[in-house]
Amino acid sequence: MTSTVITHIGELVTNDPDRATTDDLLGIVADAAVVLDGTSVAWVGPAHEAPEADTYVDAGGRAVVPGFVDSHSHLVFAGDRAPEFAARMAGTPYAAGGIRTTVAATRAATDEELTARVAALVAEMRRQGTTTVEIKSGYGLTVHDEARSLAIARQFTEETTYLGAHVVPEGSDPDEYVDLVTGPMLEACAPHARWVDVFCERGAFDEDQAREVLAAGAARGLRGRLHANQLGPGPGVQLAAELGLVAVDHCTYLDDADVTALADSGTVATLLPGVEFSTRQPYPDARRLLDAGVSVAIASDCNPGSSYTSSMPLCIALAVREMRMTPAEATYAATAGGAAALDRDDVGRLTLGSRADLVVLEAPSHVHLAYRPGVPLVAGTWVSGLPQAS
């Protein structure tokens, strides 16, 4: 096992709760160094105190942040929906039914085509600093196509989510489809999944159906998460809080009872600013959630319909500008927040023993992630102690 010291770091974001103060959420160390030993972080502190290591890397005063944890994506699909996006920008509203277009293309694709697409998107994410990604199924909607979607996703991440309950496929009876999702489809998918998810929304699945799918998933050892309150107010957020789910995602339309339920339950609210950007919906107010004591994550929701971006830096910039987060809060939400949304404490931070996943920024501080939107600021991404090819 070889050790590496990355030194001359102008600003190191650790997300270490022991270093954080009321003025510094991110536990920043200035003029810092970090030592990576094998796949883990072995030492963090001021550069002049750094121990010797086998290899020496000079960060040249650049900022280093924990690798981004993108806790919500749908990367297993074929085709794209650029014409639908163009029509939307000309005034056609977003509707859940567009998912069926991608389902048809995905079913028609070979395993090799789907795998190559996921590989390309994961590589695109890496180049933008994402070091942990969650990937959902949900564009297969048959036993075979959901199971193969998850088997493909598993080649790229442990954080795989069974989303057979994305929409009711064309021509299916809703009750019969829920029976399939909670029966044979779940049996085929559970071995490849860690999580179970439901699109709980008008036009997709209602509260009772969501309860049924989550309960069936739990009985097969899958932990629950939800898509909720994306297209309008609804029961999903409070359902997630009631069930004590780790995370509920979208949270675009919230009333006061939803916010209170999130604060009381500790369920992470995952905000997906790429969706509001790409669907022209109003952005949710992260400030309201943070001020109420809700844990907030930011993720890309990368998918061909509502948010075809793989860029966590773009999501950070949008969250700051449009959701009233500070640059520090958005950076935290895209790293430690994403880790919390996946119930992980080994990623999303740079502390003793954490996974050596980090991003070197072509910038002196994390603030530049929002201050310089659209600029490729990722100078290098390290995953499990290894620099990634750019």
Count of residues near Fe ion by CB under 5 A: 1
What's the token pair of residue 182?
């909670």
End-to-end CA distance of the chain: 24
Nearest CA-CA partner of 161 in 133, 183, 180, 142: 133
Which entry of Fe ion, ligand NIG, none binds 305, CB below 5 to 8 A by partner kind? ligand NIG
Instruction: Compute the least distance from the CB of residue 208 to ligand NIG, in Å.
Output: 19
Interface with ligand NIG includes 98 (CB under 6 A)? Answer: yes
In terms of phi and psi (left: phi > 0; alpha: psi -120 to 50; beta: otherwise), the region of 119 is alpha
298 part of the interface to ligand NIG, by CB under 6 A: no
The reply to whether 134 sits near Fe ion by the rule CB under 5 A is: no
Please, what is the minimum distance in Å from the beta carbon of residue 235 to Fe ion?
18
Nearest distance in Å: CB 166, Fe ion = 9
Residue nearest to ligand NIG (CB): 305
For the bound state, the minimum distance from the C-beta of residue 301 to ligand NIG, rounded and expressed in Å, comes to 5
Query: Comparing C-alpha atoms, which of 154, 227, 239, 243 is closest to residue 194?
Result: 154
CB atoms under 10 Å from CB of 328, counted, come to 19
- Residue numbers 259-278 binding ligand NIG by CB under 6 A: 275
For 387, the 3-state DSSP assignment is strand
Q: Choose the one of Fe ion, ligand NIG, none that binds residue 306, judging by a C-beta under 5 to 8 angstroms depending on kind.
A: ligand NIG
Helix (H, G, I), strand (E, B) or coil at 94: coil
Q: For residue 108, with 0-12 CB atoms within 10 Å meaning exposed, 13-18 middle and 19 or more buried, which class applies?
A: exposed
Between CA 383 and CA 134 the distance in angstroms is 15
The 167-206 contact track toward ligand NIG, x by CB under 6 A, reads --------------------------------x-------
Q: Contact region for ligand NIG (CB under 6 A) — 105-113, 297-305, 340-348, 354-362?
A: 297-305
Among the residue ranges 39-47, 165-173, 280-288, 297-305, the one whose residues contact Fe ion (CB under 5 A): 297-305
Minimum distance from residue 73 beta carbon to ligand NIG (Å): 9
- The upper half-sphere exposure of residue 289, i.e. CA atoms within 13 Å in the direction of its Cβ, equals 32
d(CA 171, CA 228): 24
Choose the contact partner of 338 out of Fe ion, ligand NIG, none; CB within 5 to 8 A by kind: none
Q: Is 303 in the site for ligand NIG (CB under 6 A)?
A: yes
Please tell me whether residue 197 binds Fe ion under the rule CB under 5 A: no
The listed partner (Fe ion, ligand NIG, none) that binds 199, CB under 5 to 8 Å by sort, is: ligand NIG
> Is there a contact between 207 and 178 (Cβ–Cβ < 8 Å)?
no
Residue 200 CA to residue 78 CA, distance in Å, equals 24
Q: Cα(373)–Cα(314) distance, rounded to whole angstroms?
A: 6
Nearer Cβ to ligand NIG (104/116): 104
Which residues lie near ligand NIG (CB under 6 A)?
Answer: 74, 98-99, 102, 199, 227, 230, 275, 301, 303-306
